A and B are shown apart, each in its own frame.
Chain A
């Protein structure tokens, strides 16, 4: 079976772009990816794309060209980008296609998300009582984790400090001003123990990747980045997820643990072989918990890792090298593909001021979101 390669990447800057709709940001990203690959839209044999809240991806054929290609819409919450990539990867892996697009975009209103209980199969009282709030879930998962594994509030601040420092070096990031750990710690408390600057915000943006079979990539004369694993997993029994009025006493693993293990098995390498990682950082505590859930360190070891700066750009395992969701914001449908975009930039050695200062041969990315879905991607060059 063929390897699947990434031969082009494009991004629309994250943050707020009032003059462009979400769809237009998606279109911008596709055009940028095609230019990067030196290819044309009419050469694309398929597209997988989606947004959570900014429109139907397949309508972009009106702007990009009526080439009659199959354009498959995906809608998987925070794993939308991962699902688009999974679709494109599988299409090429099957041997049926050898060149196509995976893309995602979004545009959310300001402030926390305001889900309707009925859409989530939940009773109305759950929303009325003020418990259907995503940030509460992240805070409560973290509170228990910190108590059991000895993580301090300073570690939460260090993660956000690193995010803003990295974001300042990334042209596509939203928040581009560094901030001291103490200021992050002292900012307004939102959901204890998480303060305002420890949470990412819903935002806007678009990302597109051009995928090719190994043969096609060679034919195009590109130095490809190889997609070694794309795994999407939903929650197993006993996991603790957002919007759970109750959970079982017998605990099960998180979907991230399942997705991560499967991705490493598929790639044939382990966490110790990874040179840098992009991990879902909805809040700074999520990044800390996801370091362990993805197998990069033991539960509780993060306290020392962060104190020693091991996840900074010059550390042993740089994490969220473009500032992650904390600095880029979270357009749900684009977030997972932004991580892959950033990993390709780093694997090409094209990160400029934020380039990890040693050879990068392998990169990992991970998203997690409601209602308990995780996607993991392993790239090598």
Chain B
């Protein structure tokens, strides 16, 4: 389990760390339609845990520093990977991709949910969700 002492999620209600790491979706109580990120309106949307494993649907590598704002990442800028991961029976979710060499990325690669430190401030580290290859997937 991830330590949570000096770190906090980038936004409330986006993902949870215990008892296991999960992205939180919002299911429309009327239509059953699933959304991510979950809309704040708890009366209309029921929070649901999304699957924490899926297949890489597409990807790219960000090779230039995005304009800031809105970007607020670690300084100095380093190239990072972004992708969409298809979570079976739920949604295709956009995410940062970590713990993988860029040239190992493939459409269809099995991925699992994790977190990484997007940046730090005086209160500690700010955690963002990410996906990484499932063990053995990137070899």
- Name the one of B62, B90, B92 contacting A130, with C-beta atoms under 8 angstroms: B62
Given the known interface contacts A140-B83, A249-B92, the answer about A191 and B63 at a Cβ–Cβ threshold of 8 Å is yes
Given the known interface contacts A116-B69, A130-B71, the answer about A246 and B92 at a Cβ–Cβ threshold of 8 Å is yes
Is A371 engaged at the interface, CB distance under 8 Å to the other chain?
Answer: no
Number of interface residues of B (CB under 8 A): 38
Q: Which residues of A contact B92 (CB under 8 A)?
A: 246-249
Given the known interface contacts A123-B37, A128-B10, A191-B63, the answer about A114 and B70 at a Cβ–Cβ threshold of 8 Å is yes
- Name the one of A125, A191, A246, A249 contacting B11, with C-beta atoms under 8 angstroms: A125
Across the interface, do A112 and B57 meet the contact criterion of CB distance under 8 Å? no
- Give the docked Cα–Cα distance between A141 and B92 (Å): 13
Q: Which residues of B contact A45 (CB under 8 A)?
A: none
Across the interface, do A144 and B107 meet the contact criterion of CB distance under 8 Å? yes
Q: Which residues of B contact A192 (CB under 8 A)?
A: 60-61, 63, 102
Number of interface residues of A (CB under 8 A): 37
Across the interface, do A129 and B67 meet the contact criterion of CB distance under 8 Å? no
Q: Which residues of A contact B118 (CB under 8 A)?
A: 128-129
Select the residue from A124, A125, A147, A190 with max chain B CB neighbours within 10 A.
A125
Is A133 engaged at the interface, CB distance under 8 Å to the other chain?
Answer: yes
Given the known interface contacts A123-B11, A129-B118, A131-B82, the answer about A143 and B59 at a Cβ–Cβ threshold of 8 Å is yes
> How many residue pairs between the two chains, A and B, have CB atoms under 8 Å in the bound complex?
111
- Closest residue of chain A to B60 (Cβ to Cβ) is A139
Given the known interface contacts A140-B58, A192-B61, A249-B86, the answer about A127 and B71 at a Cβ–Cβ threshold of 8 Å is yes
Across the interface, do A133 and B14 meet the contact criterion of CB distance under 8 Å? no
Given the known interface contacts A247-B92, A249-B91, the answer about A114 and B69 at a Cβ–Cβ threshold of 8 Å is yes
- Closest residue of chain A to B102 (Cβ to Cβ) is A192
Is A95 engaged at the interface, CB distance under 8 Å to the other chain?
Answer: no
Question: Could you give, for residues 102-142 of chain A, a 1 whenever the CB lies within 8 Å of some chain B CB and a 0 otherwise?
Answer: 00000000011011110000011111111111001001110
Q: Which residues of B contact A129 (CB under 8 A)?
A: 10, 71, 73, 96, 118, 128
Question: Could you give, for residues 140-166 of chain A, a 1 whenever the CB lies within 8 Å of some chain B CB and a 0 otherwise?
Answer: 110110011000000000000000000
Q: List 20 A-B contacts (CB under 8 A).
A: A112-B64, A114-B69, A128-B10, A128-B71, A129-B73, A129-B96, A129-B118, A130-B80, A130-B96, A132-B66, A132-B71, A136-B62, A136-B82, A140-B58, A245-B37, A246-B37, A247-B91, A248-B92, A249-B86, A249-B92
